[in-house]
Amino acid sequence: MAGIYIHVPFCKQACSYCDFYFVTRDQERNHYVEALITQINHYADTFYSAETIKTVYIGGGTPSLLSISQLKKIYRAVQRVFNLDLEEFTLEMNPDDVEPEYLRGLMSLGVNRCSMGVQSFDEDLLKFMNRSHTADQAVRAMELLGASGFDIYTVDLIYGNPGQSLNSLNTDLKSFLAFDPPHISAYSLTVEPRTRLGKMYENGKLKPLSDEKTAEHFDLVSETLTESGMNHYEVSNFAKPGKEAVHNTRYWNHENYLGLGPGAHSFWWNEDQKTAIRWLNRPDLRKYLSGNFEHAEAENLRLYELAEERLMLGLRTSNGISTDELEKKYEYQVDQHQLNYIYHQSRSGKLTYDEGLLRLTREGLKVADAIILDLISLKKPDAPR
Ligand code: SF4
């Protein structure tokens, strides 16, 4: 069983922190839809089309820049080519595109989960991030989404902005919770090199928040959202019970997914299950529109690389990772050096290791990347892989 990810590479403007693939030209959307349908058709009668598809995720970029009739054409092509038995159909949207009729159109299409990039209700922060919407538009979109009849939706929040105080974050969190959303994805702002923030940082015009302050922000986000009744089920994700994101959870569990559109990634296990391939569709809209669907990169992942990745993804979730799964599925055995480290970290309250299940505590989640890196690099190269 697998998922499909469709990348819609259009945005109104470049958010200052974003390094996803997108263009801000708006004349090529019809042409893109045609090219996408051609790419979808290329998968007809292949082993990809024989697989049962459980989730479809339309992300970007800004998928809500496409009209309902464009989305309908895309979805019809997906239905024609693939074997769908959908549990979840998600569409990402921006607040400034949300209208009642648009939401009704999405529902009639079968979308059952919306993911909206609110990021903040603070006008200054929205401007700093160069978001295309205002705080008023965010409020209106949340009201519309809440009244729309969508049972499940996600809203994105960004914390850890340079200069952002805990008070300001607290106000933002309260604003989000006032709408009682079923799911919140909360991301710490990162300064990526090829972005406006990256350039400001290079020129000495931006000082990112310190690690200590970012950890305080993380604590505040985690405490406030869990106290409101949400489960902190992944480092960046909070959900009311039963409202977890199925598509993303499947990424973390190493399920197959096929990426369509320029800049989309795919991940697929080989038949023998001993390796997997990850590839990236060339992030080049012009080539894509000319019918060139070449991959920019393809990487064969060996079993031990997959094991390390699964260890990392699993530890970022509240389910953790079982050493039994690592052994059976990935032939990866946790060695004595790693066990010593696990023992040490569990004594300091950063993780638990119970009946073969490794899980990070909230303290551990704060430094998840460092713990995961330590754990992986402690394994001796001559140990069985
Ligand atoms: S709308 Fe989303 S994809 Fe587009 S620039 Fe902003 S963050 Fe990036």
163 and 240 co-located in one domain: yes
Domain edge (last residue) among 229, 249, 269: 249
Q: Is the CB of 161 under 6 A from ligand 1?
A: no
The reported pLDDT for the residue numbered 220 is 98
From the CB of residue 258, how many other CB atoms can be counted at a distance below 10 Å? 23
Residue 272 lies in a domain: no
Q: Which of 249, 269, 293 is the last residue of a domain?
A: 249
Tens-place pLDDT, residues 1-34: 899 999 999 999 999 999 999 999 989 999 999 9
Residue range of the domain that includes 191: 2-249
In angstroms, what is the span from residue 150 Cα to ligand 1's centroid? 23
Q: Which amino acid is at 7?
A: H
Residue 381: predicted pLDDT: 66
- Kindly state if the Cβ of 23 falls inside 6 Å of ligand 1: no
Answer yes or no: is the C-beta of 18 below 6 A from any ligand 1 atom: yes
pLDDT tens digit sequence for 230-280: 999 999 999 999 999 999 999 999 999 999 999 999 999 987 778 999 999
* Cα–Cα distance for residue pair 61/68, rounded to 1 Å: 16
Distances (CA, A) of 61 to 91, 138, 278: 11, 18, 21
* pLDDT at residue number 346: 97
What pLDDT is stored for residue 365 in this prediction? 93
Question: Ligand 1 atom closest to Cα of 14?
Answer: 5
Which atom of ligand 1 is closest in space to residue 17's alpha carbon?
A: 7
Residues 97 and 11 in one domain: yes
Low-confidence residues of the chain: pLDDT under 70: 381-385
What separation in Å is there between the alpha carbon of 15 and the centre of ligand 1?
6
Distance 167 CA to ligand 1 centre (A): 26
371: CATH: 1.10.10.920
Q: Are residues 75 and 162 in the same domain?
A: yes
CATH number (domain holding residue 190) = 3.20.20.70
- Decide: 118 in ligand 1 pocket, CB within 6 A: no
Tens-digit pLDDT profile for residues 106-133: 999 999 999 999 999 999 999 999 999 9
Q: Is the Cβ–Cβ distance between 247 and 3 less than 8 Å? A: yes
Q: How many domains does the chain have?
A: 2
**The Cα angle at residue 250 between residues 246 and 256, in degrees rounded to 5:** 130
Are residues 357 and 238 part of one domain? no
Q: What is residue 274's predicted lDDT score, i.e. its pLDDT?
A: 86
pLDDT score of 163: 87
d(CA 47, CA 24) in angstroms, rounded, equals 35
**Which of 141, 152, 142 shows the shortest CA–CA distance to 107?**
152
Ligand 1 lined by 60 (C-beta under 6 Å):
yes
pLDDT for 382 equals 54
Tell whether ligand 1 has an atom less than 6 A from the beta carbon of residue 15: yes
The rounded distance, in Å, linking the Cα atoms of 154 and 114 is 6
